[in-house]
A and B are shown apart, each in its own frame.
Chain A
Amino acid sequence: MEAVANNQLVSIEKPEIVAPPNWEPVIIGILCNWCSYAGSDLTGTSRIQYPPNIRIIRVPCSSRVDPWFLIKSLQTTADGVLVSGCHPGDCHYITGNYFARRRFLVTKKLLSFVGFHEDRVQFSWVSAAEGPKFAKVVAKVTEDIKKLGPLHLYKKENFDK
């Protein structure tokens, strides 16, 4: 409790977990190739600055995102996950994001049910033209997850090969 008094960050779900000094969350960003990845590239070419916590993984389509990528991310390395795809109706693969949207909702709700704050996994639609939006989304997700504190779900050592 002393740590809390010193204004240190604790996990919102498990107060025993206290963030080390200067803790920065790790966020995994899974982006679809055609809209959001291109959008994130545009953020770069426009030199729009955003927090450096996100680590980006490229997938062809948001429909490629199996819910267990999210589970695995939280279980191993990430304090939060952002998945981003094309806006509904704009999917490069026509209907991919509609199927993905269903899985995302259920995964998010399930994680929240078993005790992970809803904001640990977040979703966005970012088009290839929305460079500024991508920066805003990342800033928001980073801020949200900083508030939630460290996740430290199960010790990382368990997963080393």
Chain B
Amino acid sequence: MDYTKQIQEIVAKLFAEDKIDVFAGYRMTGFDENQVPVLIQSSGEVSRLVFNDKSVFNLCNYLKYDHTRNKRVGLVVKGCDSRSLNLLLTEGQVKRERLYIVGIACDGVVDEQGNKMQNCEECMFPDALVYDELLGTQHPEGKYKVNSDIKELASKGLVERRAYFEEIFESCIRCNACRHSCPLCYCTKCCIDQETSKLYNGANNTSSAFHALMTWSLHLAGRCVDCRNCEKACPSHLPLHLLHKWNERVIYENFQEHLSGVKEGDRGAFYKYSLQDPDDFIM
């Protein structure tokens, strides 16, 4: 999967036709074989753009920052990225007419070791769901699979799970990189930083990490699209996807197979309800 040439051509044309102000894509780091996101401002920079199976990051994250606000933005989205884009559109964070979306029919991306990412192995929507232009050949829609990690963890005992997660909460350094890297964490002021939260949070400790991570994952429950930006950003290498994939599973299995961001206009699972929702857990 290498669409470097096509993307460069498209972007050059977009700048030439004055259709965009900035373009969000990927470039090589320059010091190793990995890629980082790049926001280019002019056609002169087009040659820096690349796209292949190492183009991992979800570029929709750019859309929440000031340097794209009120600009005409072009960007590349894979299947998972396009789902977060759908949510951003639905939640009124970006305007469709300001975007030029280069969709990718994605064959899956790889991690730093060159292994296919786990979320790509389990991906249901590899092709961009919203785009102006689609590159690559489309894949059939996948079937929902329960994430293997959570399956394994869920089969363990309560004591083990508690110990496992306590270790995670203890390892969290509360740097908030997960939040900053998440395209859906666009709040003007995060609840975790607010007075009400701070007051009873104490400092950087296990307890505050418990509060922060639990709240964060519940705010993303029914919205997370499994792009794993958070996990890549985490300096402590916490397996953050566990929380999200677990919520995704609970929501999928209980709330009419809800999957987030599959189409524009479809909101997170907590902003709608069905009379068929499970009631048997309530006395």
Contacts and interface: CB of A to CB of B under 8 A. Distances in A.
A–B contact via C-beta, under 8 angstroms: yes
Contact of A122 (B159, B205, B254, B283): B283
Q: Is the interface of B mostly helix, strand, loop or mixed?
A: helix
Given A109-B250, A110-B247, A71 B205 contact: no
Interface in A47-84: 67-68, 71-72, 75-76
B273 interface: yes
Given A71-B210, A95-B273, A102-B273, A114 B218 contact: no
Q: Is the interface of A mostly helix, strand, loop or mixed?
A: helix
A113 B161 contact: yes
Interface in B184-236: 191, 199-203, 205-208, 210-211, 214-215, 217-218, 221-222
Nearest to A121: B281
A106 B218 contact: yes
Indicate the member of A14, A112, A158, A161 with the most B CB atoms within 10 Å: A158
B65 interface: no
A39 B201 CA distance: 34
B94 interface: no
Contacts of B199: 161
Contacts of A129: none
A103 interface: yes
Contact of B153 (A14, A113, A137): A113
Nearest to A95: B273
Interface of A: 12-15, 67-68, 71-72, 75-76, 88, 95, 98-99, 101-117, 122-125, 137, 140, 153-155, 158-159, 161
